């Protein structure tokens, strides 16, 4: 009987931890957007939002199609066309029709986009350095956290692929 109670307590603990993790991941994403927004306000960058900045940062040196943005994990939102349009309009990205498939548009950073990419990279470098210097998290802890989150990601991807 004790084993059943212990198993039930362990399951309840796992459920509580899982829900805490979900809430934390969501809060962290929102905080990341706020951190980028604050940095842009400090730099007087007002023409793009933090979501667009993350998209631009993730593209980096690559030249990709809109579809590849999602498949490569560069963009998780649902309105990729709108955000790409804004980045192109504001001169951060260049777009060009693909020679092979005229329906497809390839995008890459302009010089202006590269400067913004570098500003976001510098922000992230400062944060990584600050976390290490202040003892917030070390390399091994970060590595273990990332491995855990990747296992969760794989589990969710499997659920999407195989359940329905």
- Two tokens, residue 33: 């957007």
Task: Give the Cα separation of 157 and 21 in Å (integer).
Answer: 17
| Average pLDDT rounded to a whole number, residues 22-48 | 95
More confident of the two residues 1 and 44: 44
Task: Please answer whether residues 65 and 105 qualify as being in contact, where contact means their C-beta atoms are separated by less than 8 angstroms.
Answer: yes
Collapsing DSSP to helix, strand or coil, 108 comes out as strand
DSSP H/E element including 5: helix 2-43
In angstroms, rounded to a whole number, what is the distance separating the alpha carbons of residues 96 and 67?
14
Query: Is the pLDDT higher at 98 or at 128?
Result: 128
pTM for the whole structure:
0.82
- Break the chain into its structural domains and give their ranges: 46-133
Confidence of residue 101 (pLDDT cuts 50, 70, 90): low
Whole-number pLDDT of residue 80 = 82
Range with lowest mean pLDDT among 5-14, 54-63, 107-116: 5-14
Tell me what pLDDT residue 136 has.
94
What is the SS3 assignment for 95? strand
Q: Does domain 46-133 have CATH number 1.10.10.10?
A: yes
- Tell me: the pLDDT tens digits for 67-97? 788 777 777 767 788 888 899 999 999 988 7
Average pLDDT across the chain, whole number:
89
State how far the Cα of 107 lies from the Cα of 69, in Å rounded to an integer.
10
pLDDT at residue 102, as a whole number: 64
Longest CA pairwise span in the chain (Å)? 69
The model's pLDDT over 11-28, given as tens digits with 9 standing for 90+, comes to 888 999 999 999 999 999
pLDDT at 111: 97
């Amino acid at each position: 009987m004790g084993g059943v109670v212990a198993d039930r307590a362990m399951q309840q603990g796992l459920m509580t931890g899982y829900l805490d993790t979900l809430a934390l991941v969501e809060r962290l994403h929102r905080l990341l957007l706020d951190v980028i927004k604050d940095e842009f306000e400090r730099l007087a960058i007002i023409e793009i939002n933090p979501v667009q900045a993350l998209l631009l940062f993730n593209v980096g040196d690559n030249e990709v199609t809109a579809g590849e943005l999602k498949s490569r994990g560069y963009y998780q939102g649902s309105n990729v066309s709108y955000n790409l349009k804004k980045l192109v309009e504001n001169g951060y990205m260049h777009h060009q029709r693909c020679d092979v498939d005229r329906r497809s548009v390839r995008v890459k950073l302009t010089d202006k986009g590269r400067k913004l990419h570098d500003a976001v990279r510098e922000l992230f470098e400062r944060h990584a350095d600050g976390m290490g210097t202040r003892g917030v998290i070390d390399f091994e802890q970060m590595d273990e956290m990332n491995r855990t989150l990747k296992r969760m990601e794989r589990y969710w991807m499997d659920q999407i692929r195989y359940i329905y």
